[in-house]
Every structure is written in structure tokens, then in C-alpha cells.
Amino acid sequence: MRGRFSALERLPYDVVLMDVQMPELDGLDASRRICDRWPDTRPRIIAMTANALPEDREACFAAGMDDYVAKPIRSDALAEALRHVRQVGRDAMPAADDADGRLDGAALESLRELGGDDFLAEVIDTFLADVGILLATLHHALDEGDAAEVRRMAHTLKSNGATLGATEFAELCRELEHQAKDGRLEDAPGLVARIEEESRSLDQALGTLRPKATT
């Protein structure tokens, strides 16, 4: 995250879905950096978090976020948050049924209906940008025997996958989350390997849904 921010001259988005519980650089710090660097041209920042207490919401707004959606994401709440986001021009995205069978076409079409091709692209980009960091953090937590952190990473991966209709991926993460909740990590390495394998397949499937970069 730090490298991506330092390399960018501007953010080419009208909306950023910001996971508050990101590892390394959390969503609050990331939002502060965006606001500091692009005070006049920054995108609208929508917080996504499992923490739904009033003080959590206040912390998001204090960090410069514009809206707040609690996990698990409800379509009506997300649609309301997106009402204030400008639509920007992008190449048309392929039909959702081009996802190689890895993704639930109905879930993808629901995202498209909520915010159009631009929003669907944002959700895909966010998933792809975060999944590698989350998996690396998951590995570290597993090496340290930190069941609580394994559970947190599995929960975040599950939620992110479910948003895109990645049913198999989300189910594997849900199983890992439940095992970690019970403090059972003996089978976790095998589950993590399966999650990583599924994430590689998802990367290819999601790539078919992204518009070709304009030149």
C-alpha cells in the first residue's frame, strides 16, 4: 500500500471502497494519506468494516472517509452509499457469465446494477490488490500460531470473496475461520494451500471481467 501511494501522481477513481481492517497500513491511515495528497481531487471514500459501533463510524469520518458500510455488506446500504458517486467512463466490461464458472454471475450482476461497470471494476481491483497482502499476513499468523489473527484474515478474505460471488473461495475461508475460532490450527496449512490455489484461479477469472487498459 505504501509503495502504491508513493508512486501515484493521482488516483484515477471517483470512489474507493476502503477496508478499515487492512494489514500493514489500515484503512484509516490510508484514507488520511489520500486526503493529504489529493485534497482537491480525491475520490469519495466509502469505509467497509465489521466494526459497527458509533465510535468506529466516527473514527472513519475523522480520517476523511465520506461514507460507511458495515459488514456483511447489504445491497441496500451499499446502493445508498453509491448514490453520491459520479460515474466515470470506462471500457465496457464483459458479461458476468464470462467468469469461467468460478464466480456467481448473479452476484456480479448485482454489483453491476448497484454502480455500473465502474463500480464492479472497483470491487474487482480492491479484491486483487488486497488478496496477496491478506494471504501473506495469514501465513505469518499461521507460522506464529496466532489463531485470533488467522481467524481475522480468514474472515476478511471470506467477506471479500463473498462480495464477488466467489463461493468456493469464501467457503474455504469460512471453514478456516471456524477452525481458528475454536483454536484448531492443525489442519490450517492444508486449507490455506487450497485457498491460495483458489485465489490464483480467481485471479484469472476476474481478469476476464476487467476492461482492457486504454492506451
Residue 74 or residue 20, greater confidence: 20
Which residue among 42, 63, 86 closes a domain? Answer: 86
Question: Does the structure show a pLDDT above 50 at 10?
Answer: no
Whether residues 63 and 107 fall in one domain: no
In the chain, the number of structural domains is: 2
Residue 14 is placed in which grid cell? 471517483
In the prediction, which pLDDT does 24 show? 64
52-108: pLDDT as tens digits: 677 888 888 888 888 888 877 766 677 677 766 644 434 444 444 444 567 888 888
Give the domain CATH number at 195: 1.20.120.160
In the prediction, which pLDDT does 143 show? 94
Question: Does the structure show a pLDDT above 60 at 36?
Answer: yes
Whether residues 82 and 98 fall in one domain: no
Does the pTM surpass 0.85? The reply is no
Long-range contacts of 201-205 (CB under 8 A, 24+ apart): 201/100, 201/102, 202/102, 202/103, 202/127, 202/131, 202/161, 202/164, 202/166, 202/169, 203/128, 203/131, 204/100, 205/99, 205/100, 205/101, 205/102, 205/103
User: pLDDT-derived band of residue 23, with 50, 70 and 90 as boundaries?
Assistant: low
Domain that holds residue 62: 1-86
Whether residues 102 and 48 fall in one domain: no
